[in-house]
Amino acid sequence: MIRVDTRVCLGCLSCSNVCPSQNITRSEIDGKRAVHWKRCKEECDLCVELCPAKALSLVPWDETTHETELSFDLAACRICGLPYATEPMLQRIESALPAEMQKDASGLEWIRICPVCRRNVEAEGTARQVVLARRKNKS
Amino acid sequence: MAVYIDINRCIGCRSCEVACQRVHGGHGHINVHYVREYAAVPVLCHHCQEAGCTMVCFTGALYKEGERTAFDVEKCTGCGLCALACPFGVVWTDKIAHKCDLCQGREEGPACIATCPANALSDDFDLATRRARERAARTAAVGGKR
């Protein structure tokens, strides 16, 4: 059986992706991500090995324990407001990247912005250079 | 090496998107964005020297290989950390991560560069700046008119 250390689980999708018998399910509804670990009798430890937070361990089968379910509030993008990532995942990114990388040249804290908006910011920034160059050529 | 973009040339035809999808089994890694009516900008992996995606990848599926930010699909668990660690939002996960691999194994080099009908994409770092200097020189030579 899988035991989950609920204090360190990031709420990422690693274990659910690698489980060969679909014993770990997830759902995303209304800005919340829920991860559900079924009671499994397998001796496979793929999820334990491939957990980025080392939150999982295998324990002997016990019929009396309940199935674990964790629910994470998804953080909202600071630009579009749509939920896009769990708070522990974002904190992990913030602790893994060097501080000078966490803000772009304009001081934007891009980690708190969803990937879709990051692409838009990138496109807008590049386009601004072209528009400025065109104006210069016209004058 | 990376793919360099001269957006003065991009006509927004999305041929690069199609070429990328063709090479990568339907999952493209380049996206043409339209910035109002001013410009079309292909957005794709910069192959950063200090790549955030490789720093957060805990299985070593994303790694630096020379200038390329390479990806080993066998090691990927699809955790999604890389997608959140990319400042440009050009890595995404759908069970596994998807990102530009500069068409690894394709002898002719990246398909987007080969396909672009406007020659807006290249793997030559100096080309875009050389063109900009040439444009400026032409402008100066004809007295401010192009």
- Whether the CB of A80 is below 8 Å from some CB of chain B: the reply is no
C-alpha distance from A27 to closest chain B C-alpha (Å): 14
Helix axes A115-138, B125-141, angle to 10 degrees: 30
The tokens describing A11, both together, are 């709420």
DSSP state of B142: T
Query: Tens digits of per-residue pLDDT, B63-100?
Result: 999 989 999 999 999 999 999 999 999 999 988 999 99
- ipTM score for this prediction: 0.89
Query: How crowded is residue A75: how many other Cβ atoms within 10 Å of its Cβ?
Result: 20
Mean pLDDT over B26-36 rounds to 93
Q: What is the DSSP letter of A66?
A: P
Q: Is residue B1 over pLDDT 80?
A: no
Tokens, residue B83: 């997608």
Beta strand B4-5 pairing with B121-122: antiparallel
Report CB contact under 8 Å: B87, A101: yes
Beta-strand ranges (E) seen in B44-133 are 62-65, 68-71, 92-94, 96-98, 121-122
Banded pLDDT at B59 (limits 50, 70, 90): very high
Q: pLDDT over 70 for what percent of chain B? A: 97
Please check whether residue A126 touches B, CB under 8 A.
yes
pLDDT at A10: 95
Q: Mean pLDDT, chain A, as a whole number?
A: 91
> Nearest CA of chain A to the CA of B114: how many Å?
22
